[in-house]
Amino acid sequence: MSHKIERRLVLYKNLQVRYVELNKNNLNGKSVTVGFSGGVDSTASVLLLKDRFEHVETATMWLYDGQENEFEFIERQAKALGVGHEIFDFREMFSKTVVDPYVSYYEQGLTPNPCVFCNKSIKYGLFLECIKTDYLALGHYSRKCLVDGEYRIYRSNTLRKDQSYNLYSLTQEQLARIIFPLSDFKSKEDVRKIAEPYLKQSTESMGTCFLMGEDRVKYFKELSLSSSVKGFFVDKVGNIICEHDGTVNYTIGQKPKIWKEKIEGVAATSKVGNYQHCLEKKLESGTDSPYIRIGTVVDVLPQKQLVVIGEEQDVMTNRIVLDEVNIISEQREKEISSYSVQSSQENPASIIQCSQGNANKESNFCEEKIFSNTGFRVSVRLSQWSEVYEGICWFDTSFESEEDKGELLVGSVLKTDDRTLVSSSKKGNNFIRGDFRESVLVVQTEKPMRAPAPGQAAVLYLSNELIGGGIIQKSRRK
């Protein structure tokens, strides 16, 4: 053995001792399956667990056609590590629960997160049910702790690699069987040093896996979907600005780049005239860029092939509504559930009623400067890498669609007959526990959130603890 490899193995053993010391549970005689891709994280996970568990296996989820090209490499990796390997064919279920909703969301003008679909139905659902071992180990950078008899999830020590955002749908039953071997590491480099002597090649998962690097627009065109058909950019009153290549290219908050030639010859409107004037000013100042940014996407309407362009202020909001909510800890759920709201149709201000004695406190949702402390304090992320917003949340058991009131909503600017947006708990809310199956979770922030896209997951934290989350339905402008 070379001195270089020997030194790495010494490092691995030292780190493994630290891992064992931090996990006091007696796992003698227990077995574990490692979700295995053959990459850095899953290889390091196997090495960390081999001396910890009596029996270690690896397994790979077969999710889509074309993935089988990776299996020979994965099986070689498992053999080199001295562990068994199994492949579970989940292609049919993956197509129904991940690919189909992914396509459907874009067809409705929503912005899907396929990883959220997969985690909920496949990785932490079907996969966990199929393995025969006591535990499932995943190479996620997140921490699981037992607090007052409940499992809690915390952000990773490796904040730059933290993956807790994608774990918000986990239940206590699932967490009892899931472990995160990499939870103690503070850098990816430490993990890499463990796995490196055994790696034949190293790959990082990027993008939407089942597209296999293919352009999303091309994929949708091959399916002849309405969201891939050419249409028009329009302003908020319906004036045509120029042509686009398909609504699937755009999401709320995006700032499209448009070639100069595309707006030449379009019937002049005041809006288009302004855009052309901006282009002329740029050219006069020495900028010879062939395109301009025409504004901010504020709505996407695939059935009419329209992308609505507005101003930056149109995608700013202090309030979002979440459906399909999951709260990980029952204790945290009770704390949030102590707050309820009774909506007022006559007054834009609503009365927040709290069973802990803070009743009848007013909070005006539409005014940015007025912010109520009567709610469960949370930090909010709109995506894995988004800015963190401070605010409060509460369950709304009498939720009414603001769209029915004619108010301007982010993601719902133009009122069209064929617009399909789930907008209330009556259309599929499935909150898991307690008396809140017919409620949604309302989140209100101190600082306006930028472009919360309907269809994406919003995830809630209390300091570094992952509380839970849900799917963004729509949000009211400030």
8 Å CB contact between 444 and 392 = yes
B/e letters for 91-123, b = 16+ CB within 10 Å, e = fewer, are beebeebbbebbbebbbbbbbbbbbbbbbbbbb
Distance CA 141, CA 122 (A): 19
Strand partners, 309: 297
**Which of these, 244, 2, 246, 210, lies nearest to 109 by C-alpha position?**
246
Q: Given the structure tokens 């009770």, which residue do they identify?
A: 334
The per-residue DSSP string of 278-342 comes to HHHHHHHTT---SEEE--EEEEEEGGGTEEEEE-GGGGEEEEEEEEEEEES-HHHHHHHHTEEEE
Distance CA 416, CA 418 (A): 6
Mapped onto helix, strand or coil, the DSSP state of residue 381 is strand
Strand partners, 31: 55
According to DSSP, the β-strands at 31-35 and 135-137 are parallel
Distance CA 403, CA 385 (A): 29
According to DSSP, the β-strands at 376-381 and 409-410 are unpaired
Burial class (CB in 10 A: 0-12, 13-18, 19+), 282: middle
Active site residues: 118, 209
Question: What is the radius of gyration, based on Cα positions, of the chain?
Answer: 25
* 106 token code pair: 């874009």
8 Å CB contact between 34 and 53 = no
**Which of these, 79, 86, 88, 84, lies nearest to 200 by C-alpha position?**
79
